[in-house]
Amino acid sequence: MMIEDLEKYGTNDLRREPFKMNGNRFIKENALHLSWVVALVATLGSLYFSEILHFLPCKLCWYQRILMYPLVIILAIAAVRKDTKQYLYVLPLSVWGMGISLYHYLMQKTSWFKEAATGCGPVPCDVDYINWLGFITIPFLALIAFTLITILHLLLLAVERQNSR
């Protein structure tokens, strides 16, 4: 590297550029696989809780499952085909899932929505089947999964838009 390059571009630009290029490449090559793994783990986890541990899902849990289960298939096909435009289909499902999971979590952990919890169905929506470390519940796990998928696909969208310029 020449001193003229440092003066011309500035040291901060040269330090950021390799990371930016590698970060974009990493997102483009791995976001679909990573988000598929997150969706698969979330799906298998929900099946483990209901089918192995016999936890009955409430109405909001079913809504979250309805949004998560198709993501496993959509993301698997996208990862195999290397179809980075799948954010068009994934983001609506993951953002809606985030909203429902956050509402469900707040229903469990705060008094803001307690009245609605009992009218949720045969299984009240404020039941804590698990409560790891005092804050990790099943809706919290779903919220984390939907959030990770959303972040990965927003990054993928940003990389795609940057590459199309």
Residues 54 and 38: their CA atoms lie apart, in Å, by 23
Instruction: Please say if the pLDDT value at position 163 is more than 80.
Output: yes
Q: How many CB atoms lie within 10 A of CB 93?
A: 21
pLDDT tens digits for 61-118?
Answer: 999 999 999 999 999 999 999 998 898 999 999 999 999 999 999 999 988 877 776 6
Residue 52: the pLDDT is 97
The answer to whether residue 2 sits within a structural domain is no
The answer to whether residue 137 sits within a structural domain is yes
The answer to whether residue 55 sits within a structural domain is yes
Range of the domain at 104: 11-164
- pLDDT above 70 coverage of the chain, percent: 85
* Closest among 86, 113, 87, 119 to 100, alpha carbons compared: 113
Eight-class DSSP state of 54: -
Residues 104 and 139 sit within 8 Å (Cβ to Cβ): yes
The answer to whether residue 132 sits within a structural domain is yes
The answer to whether residue 110 sits within a structural domain is yes
Q: 15: domain CATH number?
A: 1.20.1550
Instruction: Please say if the pLDDT value at position 22 is more than 90.
Output: no
Q: How many CB atoms lie within 10 A of CB 149?
A: 28
Which amino acid makes up residue 93?
A: L
Across 45-55, average pLDDT: 96
Residue 19: the pLDDT is 47
Predicted TM-score (pTM) of the model is 0.83
Residue 155: the pLDDT is 95
Taking the CA atoms of the chain, what radius of gyration do you get in angstroms? 20
Kindly report the average pLDDT of the chain as a whole number: 87
The answer to whether residue 5 sits within a structural domain is no
Residues 20 and 117: their CA atoms lie apart, in Å, by 45
Residue 63: the pLDDT is 96
Helix (H) or strand (E) holding 45: helix 11-47
Q: Which residues contact 89 (CB under 8 A, 6 or more apart)?
A: 74
Which amino acid makes up residue 145?
A: A
Residue 117: the pLDDT is 67
Quote the tokens at residue 124.
Answer: 């009240």
How many structural domains comprise the chain? 1
Instruction: Please say if the pLDDT value at position 146 is more than 70.
Output: yes
